[in-house]
């Protein structure tokens, strides 16, 4: 006997879950970092254009596939397009599993930072020595336990189901996230770096933008909007037929973009308020998020005692609402493809992905082989892994630079070229083609594939957008 398909309780439920998926470490961490690297303003505008002109149409296409097929991933593609298209669903599930396996490790750090800050807030801040974070990364036991803790919370919520688990959890987490972000930005704006931050983020200076910035914006839009691996197909499959696609997708894109911008405003203001910081900021933002920010909270920011632990609640919630969707991609594939019960699907997928996480968790210094692994001198693999070193970085490069763009390209071809436009109109409940519909198709047929193909060629030629 087949069980009736679960569904979100309302349009709001979908928006909470899907924007929860989109808002994540990519917004808090990657976006400010890439924007900083590209000297701000012009890059932000290019990103906005990419999110609107490519991100929104592809998100609508993914939701369309899920809502129409009432299935997720491979079975959805198979139902609408036949067996050969199901490969796209499997590729997405593989990408979901890969991203999840290393995203969990980073997410786990937020738990540690939360308790560390809680302790500092009560007993007084003691500046850790410069090796402290590196030692933590290399501590295999800590890495595995924290990853496991995050994995179990994620698995438990997914196990509870779409309505009682994912929707309920994200409906609680998203408003908390918004409030915490506004509180963070509000506090940051009292700091002296505010004006400089605004002029850096919002002034249009194309001369200082790196040429790769255009493609970086496309890659970031994919990652940040959770596109290219079927997360939105899965969530779309739990939508009611009457739930609108355009406005739901637009809400997600707007919320995600606002979060990225607010995060940028907060980070830039804090950084630019501390003159000695500007110079030694390169070297990535992990340090910024987990080392520099706590220090600044306690030493430079008003109300830092409260803000510091709360900030890591923000990071943890943002990460968790994203990992839920990644986990659901794999879980729902097993449910829809194999007919398994949710509990069995969660157990199997969690075991599988956690095994992958162990390799990522040990690649930060805990295990020499995994930490030093690279394919720089291996002809074909070098194309897929660039000159990255260590399992975590290798997986990130493979997923963000290859799997998501290739998956996204597949979606544009499937909906833009393969599905008949009469079929699209019919399923969208439109009597005839409107301007919006034509623009959507034009983006899916021409604009988005062209941008993605250029991105993929650049990656194949050795560019790195992770
Ligand atoms: N959008 C998430 C972020 O910005 O952190 C990452 C992500 C989640 C990517 C879910 C893909 C996905 F399916």
Mean pLDDT in the chain? 93
Strand partners, 389: 374
| Mutate-to-test residue for ligand 1 from 18, 170, 227, 231, highest number of ligand atoms within 8 A of CB | 231
> Which residues form ligand 1's pocket by a CB distance below 6 Å?
21-22, 24-27, 96, 99, 223-224, 226, 229, 231, 322, 325-326
| Mutate-to-test residue for ligand 1 from 17, 20, 24, highest number of ligand atoms within 8 A of CB | 24
Backbone angles phi, psi at 8, to 5 degrees: -70, 150
State pLDDT tens for residues 321-352: 999 999 999 999 999 999 999 999 999 999 99
Q: Which of 129, 125, 128 is nearest to 117 (CA)?
A: 125
CA of residue 298 to ligand 1 center, whole Å = 30
State pLDDT tens for residues 66-116: 999 999 999 999 999 999 999 999 999 999 999 999 999 999 999 999 999
- Rounded Cα gap, residues 200 and 203, in angstroms: 6
State pLDDT tens for residues 117-158: 999 999 999 999 888 999 999 999 999 999 999 999 999 999
Backbone angles phi, psi at 227, to 5 degrees: -105, 160
| Long-range contacts, stretch 416-419, CB < 8 angstroms, 24+ apart | 416/61, 416/441, 416/444, 416/445, 416/448, 416/449, 417/445, 418/81, 418/85, 419/80, 419/81
- In this structure, which residue's CA is closest to atom 7 in ligand 1? 226
- Rounded Cα gap, residues 426 and 428, in angstroms: 5
Q: Is the pLDDT of residue 3 over 70?
A: no
State pLDDT tens for residues 362-418: 999 999 999 999 999 998 999 999 889 999 999 999 999 999 999 999 999 999 999
Domains of the chain in start order, with CATH, are 11-460 (1.10.4160)
- Rounded Cα gap, residues 322 and 20, in angstroms: 6
User: What token pair was written down for 429?
Assistant: 């409940």
pLDDT at 284: 54
Helix (H, G, I), strand (E, B) or coil at 374: strand
pLDDT at 275: 79
Q: What percent of the chain has pLDDT over 90?
A: 83
- In this structure, which residue's CA is closest to atom 11 in ligand 1? 226
CA of residue 96 to ligand 1 center, whole Å = 9
pLDDT at 98: 97
Q: Is the pLDDT of residue 273 over 50?
A: yes
- Average pLDDT rounded to a whole number, residues 451-459: 95
pTM: 0.95
CA of residue 28 to ligand 1 center, whole Å = 12
- In this structure, which residue's CA is closest to atom 13 in ligand 1? 226
Query: Predicted confidence band at 269 (pLDDT cuts at 50, 70, 90)?
Result: very high
Q: Where are the alpha helices (DSSP H) in 161-279?
A: 168-188, 194-202, 213-224, 231-237, 245-272, 275-279
pLDDT at 281: 60
Q: Which of 207, 213, 188 is nearest to 198 (CA)?
A: 188
| Mutate-to-test residue for ligand 1 from 19, 20, 25, 26, highest number of ligand atoms within 8 A of CB | 26
CA of residue 322 to ligand 1 center, whole Å = 6
CA of residue 26 to ligand 1 center, whole Å = 7
pLDDT at 283: 43
Helix (H, G, I), strand (E, B) or coil at 389: strand
């Amino acid at each position: 006997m087949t069980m009736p398909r679960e569904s979100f309780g309302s349009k709001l439920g979908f928006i909470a879950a899907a924007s929860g998926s989109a808002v994540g470490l990519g917004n808090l961490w990657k976006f400010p970092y890439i924007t900083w690297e590209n000297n701000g303003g012009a890059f932000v505008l290019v990103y906005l254009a990419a999110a609107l002109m490519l991100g929104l149409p592809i998100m609508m296409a993914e939701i369309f596939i899920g809502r129409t097929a009432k299935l997720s991933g491979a079975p959805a593609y198979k139902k609408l397009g036949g067996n050969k298209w199901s490969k796209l669903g499997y590729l997405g599930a593989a990408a979901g599993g890969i991203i999840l396996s290393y995203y969990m490790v980073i997410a786990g750090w937020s738990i540690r930072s939360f308790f560390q800050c809680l302790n500092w807030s009560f007993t007084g801040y003691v500046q850790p020595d410069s090796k402290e974070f590196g030692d933590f990364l290399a501590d295999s036991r800590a890495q595995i336990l924290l990853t496991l803790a995050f994995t179990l919370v994620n698995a438990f919520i997914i196990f509870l189901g779409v309505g009682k688990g994912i929707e309920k959890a994200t409906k609680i987490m998203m408003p908390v996230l918004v409030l915490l972000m506004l509180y963070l930005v509000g506090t940051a704006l009292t700091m002296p770096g505010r004006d400089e931050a605004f002029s850096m983020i919002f002034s249009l200076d194309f001369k200082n933008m790196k040429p790769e910035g255009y493609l970086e914006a496309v890659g970031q839009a994919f990652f940040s909007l959770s596109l290219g691996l079927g997360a939105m197909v899965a969530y779309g499959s739990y939508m009611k037929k009457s739930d609108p696609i355009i406005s739901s997708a637009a809400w997600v894109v707007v919320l995600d973009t606002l979060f990225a911008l607010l995060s940028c405003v907060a980070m830039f203001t804090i950084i630019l308020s501390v003159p000695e910081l500007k110079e030694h900021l390169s070297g990535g933002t992990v340090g910024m998020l987990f080392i520099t920010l706590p220090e600044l909270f306690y030493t430079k920011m008003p109300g830092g005692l409260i803000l510091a632990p709360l900030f890591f609640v923000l990071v943890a919630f943002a990460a968790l609402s994203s990992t839920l969707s990644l986990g659901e991609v794999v879980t729902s594939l097993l449910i829809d493809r194999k007919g398994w019960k949710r509990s069995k699907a969660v157990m199997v997928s969690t075991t599988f992905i956690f095994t992958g996480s162990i390799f990522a968790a040990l690649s930060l210094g805990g295990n020499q082989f995994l930490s030093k692994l690279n394919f720089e001198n291996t002809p074909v693999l070098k194309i897929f892994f660039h000159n990255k070193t260590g399992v975590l970085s290798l997986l990130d490069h493979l997923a963000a630079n290859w799997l998501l763009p290739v998956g996204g390209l597949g979606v544009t071809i499937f909906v833009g070229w393969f599905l008949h436009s009469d079929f699209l109109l019919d399923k969208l409940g439109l009597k005839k083609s409107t301007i919006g519909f034509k623009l959507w198709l034009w983006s899916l047929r021409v604009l988005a594939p062209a941008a993605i193909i250029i991105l993929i060629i650049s990656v194949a030629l050795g560019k790195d957008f992770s």
